[in-house]
Chain A
Amino acid sequence: MPVLQNIAAIAKGMSITFREMFQPTVVENYPDGPGPLKGAIFQERYRGVHVLQRDENGLEKCVACFLCAAACPSNCIYIEAAENTAEHRISGAERYAKVYNIDYNRCIFCGYCVEACPTDAITHGHGFEIASFNASDLIYRKEQMLAPMPAHMGANAVFNRDEVAAGAPSLPVQGS
């Protein structure tokens, strides 16, 4: 009785459909959800736009060792190093990254840079909304990736005190 077999198969299939129809939805409410992530939910391990971390004194952790750039398979990290001086101290060690660019046109979010970093300076954040109509916007500068100052030093996104003092708006860092 092939006809009956066919009907049974359809009924079996449709039963799954109807059962799922009354289950609660698992689709994220992005981008209409609440909060700064607009309803997006991330695993902790998610590899998004990089964040350059600071130490407990608010100094940059990056010492411009170039290991991330050396590890990068898509060759998208560009660094220029400079020497810290007593008057102008940026990082905890002798050297800091004067320029730190990541080209997100090329980055494949593999995480090798994070693994290579000896000072845990570069980490993956959860930023993902980086689409742009202009490819040159996708080259992120250090200022765009740097973490805000730690809480006890005034965590209100004043990541560049000089610029804020000069009148720049102290907005939170995008993607961090």
Chain B
Amino acid sequence: MADVNITVDGKKVTAPAGTLLIEACKSVGIEVPSFCYYPNLSLQGACRMCLVKVEKMPKLQTACTTVISEGMIAITDSDEVRQARKGMVELLLGNHPLDCPVCDAGGECELQDMTFSYGAAESKYMEPKNHKEEQQWSPVVYFDRPRCILCYRCVRVCGEGMDVWALGVQNRGVGSIIAPNKEDHLECEECGMCIDICPVGALTSGAYRYKTRPWEMNHVGTTCAHCADGCKTTLGVRRSETGMEIVRGDNRDKSGINGDFLCIKGRYAFDFANREDRFVQPLIRKDGQLAPSTWEEAFELIGKRFKEAREQHGGQAIGVVGSNRTTNEENYLLQKFARVVLQTNNIDHHRTADFPAFAAALRGKPESTASMRDVFNAPAILLIGNDPTEQHPLMAWQIRNNVRLHRAKLYVVNSRDIKLRRQATGFLRIPKGAEGRFAAFLNGDDSVAENLRPVAGTGADAGESRATTQTTPAGFRDQLRSEQNLIIIFGAEIRGGDIASVVKFGSGIAGAKFLYLADYANSRGAADMGLYPDLLPGYHPIADSGKFHQEWGGVPQTPGLTLPEMVDSARSGKLKALYVVGTNPVGRFDIDPFVFSQSFVVVQDMFLTETASLADVVLPAANAYEKSGTFTNTCGDLQLVKKAAEVSGSKSDFEMIVRIADAMGADVHKLVPFGRGTAADMGQSRGAQSGEADRHSVWLEAHGLEPKMSPFDPMAILDEIQRLVPGYEVSRMNLLAGNDQRTSLVGRASGAAQNPELIAPANDHLFSSGTLGRYSRTLNSVMENHDQQPAEF
């Protein structure tokens, strides 16, 4: 659009036509106060804080609803404007209780800030304030009515942003109140966005209420440990008897890929970390019982038994199971430990998507994967399978708001009436399990078209969808072919050869990108880092281990056992030792616990899961909120995981792997390349409170010059990952500064054919999160409130 020139406080501003005055002011650093205005939400014009003087207009104008026009002259700071703002604050404070000392928002309240900046210290009103009791609307949302200033942000974010419409306004004018649309409680996705967006303390979080104050906590921006979308969550931590305790999670720092968004899991489901029944010391099975022990004893025993198994029975007798929730560094280290120290390729993890097939299909097109940010900007999106609203809340938010704000076209293909059909331009309902056939159909195989007819009587019509015409599969495909820059998002229903069909179809569309949905925080990272029996990091086939072979010196050349094969091997007594890191295969795959009675089982976990309960040694592990490293989300966005909390008695999986290797007599220097780099800064300046010293260390770290004196330093392994794993050559400086970095999926000829049967999607919904979710009280209470059951394993 053409640019428009205006003058604000004597400054010349040029902005595209259609820009709001408040945004134009912001672009030159002039702040116009407002409560009800929020970027990317509809305009409300309710709070009247943003009044400015516009020349040739008779009265003061609201900057948030005034569109700039050529030659406009605005004044944002004059006696008249200041007087108006002061009057507005006084009116807002008319019935606002003065309970700042107890209010949760105290210290980060926009009304407090505005009162300090623009308000008067005294009020002319003598009338008693109208008090109303606080209401609980859901297990996690409380509402304090007198504090509400009626900016309607919560109503709009719930409706427009989340498409939930759980909040509304009752009555009119001065009698207006914010209220749930369903009697006295919220029927919603419990995302807590209304709490985050509330400028005052009217909506408060059930998890954080009255616990502490914002300035009393340290705020650590890290990556969420739950689903594979990789939202940035800011954890508020404070000292506790056992180390550092997480008090709240929120989206205070809106710099992440999630922008304004955070779902219930990122906001409230950190509470597993604070549970009392966590392991805080190693346990060793003695006389059939797990008894508390010491770290030294545990590592010595594990080292001895692993070494025995390797020397007497060979690496084939040892199995390793990795996790979807450990960092990239830990996953890389684990498979390196398995291959180099344990001399085995028997390493696997719970696969929730078929990334090797995806990588193979994308061979020669490394830049054709879509990032999370792309989903918000693409002109057209095709979604096959999955239900992002439940399983990928951020993905759903990006799609929904792309449709709302950019009028993107969304095409949905699903066997269920998923919620995103309400945003869809085209919705095609197919029978359950027909996603693979649909992929073939996309690719031109018309013989399966008949099988794509929805099952009769299941309401396959457009329903609430925006789709105007009844869609036939053929018409749907033609419509897709006419799109450009299409992002094709597909769930784990599509696997193996079907992925190749989808990619082949997409290749016919200019600028098409692909996105494959896995289920856990680092599912993609686990796949990229090679937790496969037949693939090395970066999907290198085992047989072609070239540079890894050189670097590591001796990798077994035969593919190892998959997880089910390990179970069979244990059943026949061949598997002498099993090393399980941060995962619960026995519970997840319903394995008969007696299978492992002949094996020496070591489990690293936080809780007594089904797997941990049959272990010979249990090592208490730190979770992702208690260690540093990186996560790769399902789109391939690499993000930093920062240590926020600490529970004394637990160790990171990284440290435990290194200590076990050491106990086995392996050369730890070869496993973790530590002790290199410059010796200029021996750490004297580290940990100092001075910003100078801190910046220095960030610079050193970013350039790989950091001393890395510790064998437990994940950055040492990140060096090796960046050197050896294709696609991970990202900017360290940006990564460490907390920005998401794009990795690319460098496809190669898939070595051994992957067995799609091994893929077990987690099928989590909004309030469940695999084994981890079982240990979150908030998730359980919300689930109880919604009368839902955790997802079946």
A100 to B271 CA separation, bound complex (whole angstroms): 25
Residue of B with least CB distance to A62: B101
Given A118-B100, A118-B101, A119-B101, residue A66 in contact with residue B210 (CB < 8 A): no
A95 to B216 CA separation, bound complex (whole angstroms): 16
Residue of B with least CB distance to A92: B102
Question: Within A75-100, which residues are at the interface with B (CB < 8 Å)?
Answer: 81-83, 93-95
A171 to B753 CA separation, bound complex (whole angstroms): 81
Given A81-B210, A82-B210, A83-B209, residue A95 in contact with residue B215 (CB < 8 A): no
Nearest CB of B to A117, in Å:
9
Question: Within B264-311, which residues are at the interface with A (CB < 8 Å)?
Answer: none
Nearest CB of B to A147, in Å:
19
A118 to B98 CA separation, bound complex (whole angstroms): 10
Which residues of the other chain, B, contact A119 by a CB distance below 8 angstroms? 101
Question: Within A19-77, which residues are at the interface with B (CB < 8 Å)?
Answer: 63-67, 69-70
B216 and A65 form a contact (CB under 8 A): no
A94 to B304 CA separation, bound complex (whole angstroms): 57
Residue of A with least CB distance to B240: A80
Given A81-B210, A81-B211, A95-B210, residue A66 in contact with residue B100 (CB < 8 A): no
Question: Within A105-153, which residues are at the interface with B (CB < 8 Å)?
Answer: 118-119
The 8 A CB mask of B93-106 against A (1 = contact, 0 = none) is: 00000011110001
The listed residue (B134, B209, B211, B213) touching A65 by CB distance below 8 A is B213
Nearest CB of B to A81, in Å:
6
Question: Within B173-220, which residues are at the interface with A (CB < 8 Å)?
Answer: 209-213, 215-216
A63 to B106 CA separation, bound complex (whole angstroms): 13
Which residues of the other chain, A, contact B210 by a CB distance below 8 angstroms? 64, 81-83, 94-95
Question: Within B206-258, which residues are at the interface with A (CB < 8 Å)?
Answer: 209-213, 215-216
Which residues of the other chain, A, contact B100 by a CB distance below 8 angstroms? 65, 118
Given A81-B210, A83-B209, A83-B210, residue A94 in contact with residue B215 (CB < 8 A): no
Nearest CB of B to A111, in Å:
19
Which residues of the other chain, A, contact B216 by a CB distance below 8 angstroms? 66, 69-70
Which residues of the other chain, A, contact B106 by a CB distance below 8 angstroms? 65
Most buried by A among B210, B211, B212, B216: B210
The listed residue (B134, B211, B215) touching A70 by CB distance below 8 A is B215
A93 and B209 form a contact (CB under 8 A): no
B101 and A63 form a contact (CB under 8 A): yes
A80 to B29 CA separation, bound complex (whole angstroms): 40
Which residues of the other chain, A, contact B99 by a CB distance below 8 angstroms? 93-94
Nearest CB of B to A47, in Å:
22
Which residues of the other chain, B, contact A69 by a CB distance below 8 angstroms? 216
B102 and A65 form a contact (CB under 8 A): yes
A66 to B99 CA separation, bound complex (whole angstroms): 13
A150 to B539 CA separation, bound complex (whole angstroms): 75
Residue of B with least CB distance to A70: B215
B102 and A63 form a contact (CB under 8 A): yes
The listed residue (A66, A82, A118) touching B213 by CB distance below 8 A is A66
The listed residue (B101, B211, B213) touching A93 by CB distance below 8 A is B101
Which residues of the other chain, A, contact B213 by a CB distance below 8 angstroms? 65-66, 70, 81
B212 and A94 form a contact (CB under 8 A): no
How many Cβ-Cβ contacts under 8 Å join chain A to chain B? 37
Nearest CB of A to B121, in Å:
14
Nearest CB of A to B229, in Å:
33
A118 to B213 CA separation, bound complex (whole angstroms): 15
A66 and B102 form a contact (CB under 8 A): no
A65 to B101 CA separation, bound complex (whole angstroms): 5
Nearest CB of B to A94, in Å:
5
A63 to B101 CA separation, bound complex (whole angstroms): 7
A64 to B215 CA separation, bound complex (whole angstroms): 13
Which residues of the other chain, B, contact A82 by a CB distance below 8 angstroms? 210
Residue of A with least CB distance to B134: A94
Residue of A with least CB distance to B238: A80
Nearest CB of A to B13, in Å:
39
The listed residue (B134, B209, B215) touching A66 by CB distance below 8 A is B215
Residue of A with least CB distance to B204: A94
Nearest CB of B to A16, in Å:
54
B101 and A67 form a contact (CB under 8 A): yes
Nearest CB of A to B236, in Å:
13
A159 to B102 CA separation, bound complex (whole angstroms): 24
A157 to B199 CA separation, bound complex (whole angstroms): 44
A101 to B232 CA separation, bound complex (whole angstroms): 35
Residue of A with least CB distance to B214: A66
Which residues of the other chain, A, contact B212 by a CB distance below 8 angstroms? 66, 81
A83 to B207 CA separation, bound complex (whole angstroms): 12
Which residues of the other chain, B, contact A70 by a CB distance below 8 angstroms? 213, 215-216
Residue of B with least CB distance to A67: B101
A82 to B100 CA separation, bound complex (whole angstroms): 16
Which residues of the other chain, A, contact B134 by a CB distance below 8 angstroms? 94
Which residues of the other chain, A, contact B101 by a CB distance below 8 angstroms? 63, 65, 67, 93, 118-119
Most buried by A among B100, B102, B209, B211: B102
Question: Within B109-140, which residues are at the interface with A (CB < 8 Å)?
Answer: 134
A134 to B209 CA separation, bound complex (whole angstroms): 37
Nearest CB of A to B281, in Å:
26
Question: Within B23-40, which residues are at the interface with A (CB < 8 Å)?
Answer: none
A119 to B106 CA separation, bound complex (whole angstroms): 15
Which residues of the other chain, B, contact A65 by a CB distance below 8 angstroms? 100-102, 106, 213
Nearest CB of A to B19, in Å:
40
Question: Within B389-448, which residues are at the interface with A (CB < 8 Å)?
Answer: none
Nearest CB of B to A96, in Å:
9
Residue of A with least CB distance to B144: A94
A70 to B212 CA separation, bound complex (whole angstroms): 12
Residue of A with least CB distance to B99: A93
Nearest CB of B to A142, in Å:
17
Nearest CB of A to B613, in Å:
35
Which residues of the other chain, B, contact A83 by a CB distance below 8 angstroms? 209-210
Residue of A with least CB distance to B211: A81
A118 to B97 CA separation, bound complex (whole angstroms): 14
A69 to B239 CA separation, bound complex (whole angstroms): 15
A65 to B99 CA separation, bound complex (whole angstroms): 10
A93 to B106 CA separation, bound complex (whole angstroms): 14
Which residues of the other chain, B, contact A81 by a CB distance below 8 angstroms? 210-213
A28 to B210 CA separation, bound complex (whole angstroms): 48
Nearest CB of A to B726, in Å:
50
Nearest CB of B to A59, in Å:
13
A118 to B102 CA separation, bound complex (whole angstroms): 10
A108 to B134 CA separation, bound complex (whole angstroms): 40
Nearest CB of B to A103, in Å:
14
Nearest CB of A to B688, in Å:
18
Which residues of the other chain, B, contact A66 by a CB distance below 8 angstroms? 212-213, 215-216
Question: Within B1-36, which residues are at the interface with A (CB < 8 Å)?
Answer: none
Nearest CB of A to B718, in Å:
36
Nearest CB of A to B210, in Å:
4
Which residues of the other chain, B, contact A94 by a CB distance below 8 angstroms? 99, 102, 134, 210
Which residues of the other chain, B, contact A118 by a CB distance below 8 angstroms? 100-101
A67 to B212 CA separation, bound complex (whole angstroms): 11
A48 to B615 CA separation, bound complex (whole angstroms): 59
A15 to B240 CA separation, bound complex (whole angstroms): 67
A63 to B215 CA separation, bound complex (whole angstroms): 16
Nearest CB of B to A72, in Å:
12
Residue of B with least CB distance to A93: B102
Which residues of the other chain, B, contact A63 by a CB distance below 8 angstroms? 101-102
A82 to B211 CA separation, bound complex (whole angstroms): 6
A104 to B414 CA separation, bound complex (whole angstroms): 67
Q: Can you offer 5 A-B residue contacts whose CB atoms are under 8 A?
A: A63-B102, A64-B102, A65-B102, A65-B213, A66-B212
Q: What is B's interface to A at a CB cutoff of 8 Å?
A: 99-102, 106, 134, 209-213, 215-216
Identify 15 new A-B residue pairs, CB closer than 8 A, beyond the known A65-B102, A93-B99, A94-B102.
A65-B100, A65-B106, A66-B212, A69-B216, A70-B216, A82-B210, A83-B209, A83-B210, A93-B101, A93-B102, A94-B99, A94-B210, A95-B210, A118-B100, A119-B101
Q: What 9 A-B pairs are tightest by C-beta distance, nearest first?
A: A65-B101, A95-B210, A83-B210, A66-B213, A93-B102, A118-B101, A63-B102, A95-B102, A94-B102
